[in-house]
């Protein structure tokens, strides 16, 4: 664990109670971004169940289909054998689960099947985290993202507050050799997650999810979590929309696309409407703003 991660974990444990978290993505259950965040959350004391597609299902939006038997290639990165059952778990860690179907199907399986088995019938997940996706999910891409689709399912159908994370660094890495970017993204996602948890329940308003996008990172650019600034944004341009919450001297938030394109280490956080995957109204933005206020800054 890097020194910055250790400090963040130590400080967060002083103020944040451990909760039950369901994790998923659309890049596959063995992808490094997802696994790095799982490890960070578990090390901080949270109870975590990971339930994600057996292989890459990027761009599958809100598709949902009965899981099928794994084909002759096996799961991604040889993480399950050829012709494995439609669903399965890591042989040494039942918290790590694959579903040979879409992200929505995967997170649904984790909520409805794995969580009651591991936590008990009356202990559903308290928060859903999807990603960090390999590649950004901003603007029109939000509508087609499986990582977003899983988060929206959790928020709207399962009634579990949800956050979708995405990172601009688009190099995939396997579960047993996670990339440098995956470790940085895990730290950043952990920071956002614990900021929300620290403010208590309800973590988010009903039918609301957060769309969080991290910039491109490397060992020479935006390499330390302390370098990042978190900006409240909106998903769509909003030219014809009602005004946003009053923040940073304006009632029109910047788009996440504009923030991610800026030079610097900026994290875009948009408050999404689970009904249509666009930006929510100013009233619900205001509720989330108060929860994120300790983290946010102005451009």
Average pLDDT score over the chain:
94
Q: What pLDDT, on the 0 to 100 scale, is given for residue 239?
A: 82
What CATH code is carried by the domain that includes residue 185? 3.40.1210.10
> What integer pLDDT is reported at residue 10 of this predicted model?
41
Structurally, how many domains does the chain consist of?
1
Which residue range forms the structural domain that includes residue 234?
Answer: 3-292
Check if the beta carbon of residue 248 is closer than 8 Å to that of residue 289.
Answer: no
Whether 298 maps to a domain, the answer reads: no
3-state secondary structure the chain: CCHHHHHHHHHHHHHCCCCEEEEECCCCCCEHHHHHHHHHHHHCCCEEEEEEECCCCCCCCCCCCCCCCCCCCCCHHHCCCCCCCCEEEECCEEEEEEECCCHHHHHHHHHHHHHHHHHCCCCCCCEEEEEEEECCCCCCHHHHCHHHHHHHHHHHCCCCCEEEEEECCCCCCECCCCCHHHHHHHHHHHHHHHHHHHCCCCCCCCCEEEEEEECCCCCCCCCCHHHCEEEEEECCCCCCCCCCCCECCECCCCEHHHHHHCCCCEEEEEEEECCCCEECCHHHHHHHHHHHCCCECCC
pLDDT for the residue numbered 13: 40
Mean pLDDT throughout 283-296?
A: 98
In the predicted model, is pLDDT for residue 68 greater than 50?
yes
Please indicate, yes or no, if residue 181 is contained in any of the structural domains. Answer: yes
Would you say residue 159 lies in a domain? Answer: yes
Q: Is residue 84 part of a domain?
A: yes
pLDDT, residue 12, reads: 42
Q: What is the mean pLDDT of residues 105-124?
A: 97
- Residue 270 forms part of a structural domain: yes
Predicted confidence at residue 203, as pLDDT, reads: 98
pLDDT confidence band for 7 (50 / 70 / 90) = very low
Report pLDDT digits (tens) over 28-45: 999 999 999 999 999 999
Mean per-residue pLDDT, 240-255: 94
Domain membership of residue 299 (yes or no) is: no
Residue 28, domain member (yes or no)? yes
pLDDT at 275: 97
pLDDT digits (tens, 9 = 90+) for 157-199: 999 999 999 999 999 999 999 999 999 999 999 999 999 999 9
Q: With respect to residue 104, please indicate whether it lies within any of the assigned structural domains.
A: yes
């Amino acid at each position: 664990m890097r020194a910055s991660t250790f400090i963040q974990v130590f400080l967060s444990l002083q103020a944040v109670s451990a909760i039950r978290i369901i994790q998923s993505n659309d890049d596959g259950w063995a992808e490094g971004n997802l696994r790095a965040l799982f490890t960070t959350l578990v090390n901080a004391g949270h109870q975590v169940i990971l339930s994600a597609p057996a292989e890459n299902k990027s761009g599958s939006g809100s598709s949902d289909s009965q899981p099928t038997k794994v084909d002759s290639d096996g799961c991604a990165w040889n993480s399950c054998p050829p012709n494995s059952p439609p669903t399965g778990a890591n042989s040494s860690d039942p918290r790590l689960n694959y579903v040979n179907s879409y992200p929505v199907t995967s997170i649904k399986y984790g909520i409805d099947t794995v969580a009651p088995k591991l936590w008990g019938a009356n202990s559903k997940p308290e928060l859903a985290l999807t990603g960090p996706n390999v590649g950004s999910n901003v603007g029109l891409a939000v509508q087609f993202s499986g990582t977003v689709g899983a988060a929206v399912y959790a928020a709207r159908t399962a009634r579990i507050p949800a956050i979708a994370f995405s990172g601009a660094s688009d190099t995939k890495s396997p579960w047993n050799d996670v990339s440098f970017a995956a470790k940085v993204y895990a730290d950043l996602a952990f920071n956002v997650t614990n900021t929300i948890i620290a403010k208590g329940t309800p973590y988010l308003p009903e039918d609301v999810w957060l769309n969080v996008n991290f910039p491109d990172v490397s060992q020479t650019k935006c390499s330390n979590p302390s370098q990042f600034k978190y900006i409240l944004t909106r998903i769509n341009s909003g030219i014809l929309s009602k005004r946003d919450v009053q923040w940073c001297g304006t009632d029109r938030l910047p788009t996440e696309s504009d923030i991610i394109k800026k030079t610097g280490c900026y994290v875009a956080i948009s408050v999404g409407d689970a009904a249509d995957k666009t930006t929510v109204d100013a009233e619900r933005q205001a509720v989330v703003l108060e929860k994120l206020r300790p983290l946010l800054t102005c451009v």
